[in-house]
Structure 1
């Protein structure tokens, strides 16, 4: 029974585990705040991706393709938000000295990252085209893709958050923390580039 959807699960896991916007934020949040305080961000991001892929499978991605101005507005808003987050991460020091990142990102912050990311919509549309045969209609396909991507994203982001926590244990000095935060900020800012390559 599980065999026909194994390729979809593998596709979703690879797509959600590769470095990008959400994984970078989960790593940074794990390093700064630990796992428990990062849970709202990770759940929000997983839920956001689930709704994006579900909506793409249900046909909303067609609306975005038909309205380039809406796509452009999403890209601009998403890029500005991510640059603001990158600036906050880059300016942060060690967790106990941190004043610029006083609290972790919220559920809606995590979800919003996915809703404004055209890459997520394109991924959902690609998955819908590739795995449409697994469902009996757009509604069932939306449910299948949304739940698969949501669950795999939750696992992937948890692993990245734990990686951030491991880094936090290895870093002992303020300059090491500042270097890590600058690297994470640069990776987050660079992750905007593929968003603008998505047609």
Structure 2
């Protein structure tokens, strides 16, 4: 296996993880409100969640989950409710360090939980498993390859989005500017739910 043979997978994972969505919006909001260091747990949760999801999809679990319509609906509902709660929390927050507002960043387990309740993520990682199966000579090797690739690319992409949030924190000074940013991020987070329900 050469780096040239891995480039299509790396590009697929990069494009899949860097495009705006729920995780990127939360990474941006966390970077703006808490800075990079305090955002590491949630970004780690997102990256690990996506990597473990890719492993599970390559090992066959994704196919089982996608074959059960009631389970898909339950996952969509739980994931949507969680994202709406986070959007409300972001939308109602003010400037960073304002008393009592968003006092705690989202943690590692919440990041993993959010990723695993996203049927679109399962469909995307299952597509990757099918498209890049020829890169590995066994399901276990494919699972490790996809898991590592998606985990690393997600960590890279989320780092960029978190840095963008930090840039917002340095640029915005007035409470009104923060109110606009928080409402925009909350709306983007709610909008990221829509593709989850489109088949």
TM-score by length of structure 1 reads 0.98
How far the C-alpha of 1:99 sits from its partner, in A, is 2.1
Distance 1:98 1:11, change over 3 A: farther
Does the 8 A contact of 2:97 with 2:103 survive in 1?
no
Aligned pairs for 1:1-199 (under 5 A) are: 1-198=2-199
How far the C-alpha of 1:96 sits from its partner, in A, is 2.1
Q: Secondary structure at the match of 1:97?
A: coil
* Runs (5+) with no aligned partner, structure 2: none
* Runs (5+) with no aligned partner, structure 1: none
Question: Take 2:162 and 2:174, find their aligned partners in 1: how far apart are those partners?
Answer: 21
Question: Take 2:153 and 2:66, find their aligned partners in 1: how far apart are those partners?
Answer: 26
Runs of 4+ in 1 over 3 A off after TM superposition: none
Question: Take 1:37 and 1:11, find their aligned partners in 2: how far apart are those partners?
Answer: 29
How far the C-alpha of 1:98 sits from its partner, in A, is 5.0
Question: Take 2:98 and 2:180, find their aligned partners in 1: how far apart are those partners?
Answer: 15
How far the C-alpha of 1:100 sits from its partner, in A, is 3.4
Number of residue pairs the alignment of both structures matches: 198
TM-score by length of structure 2 reads 0.98
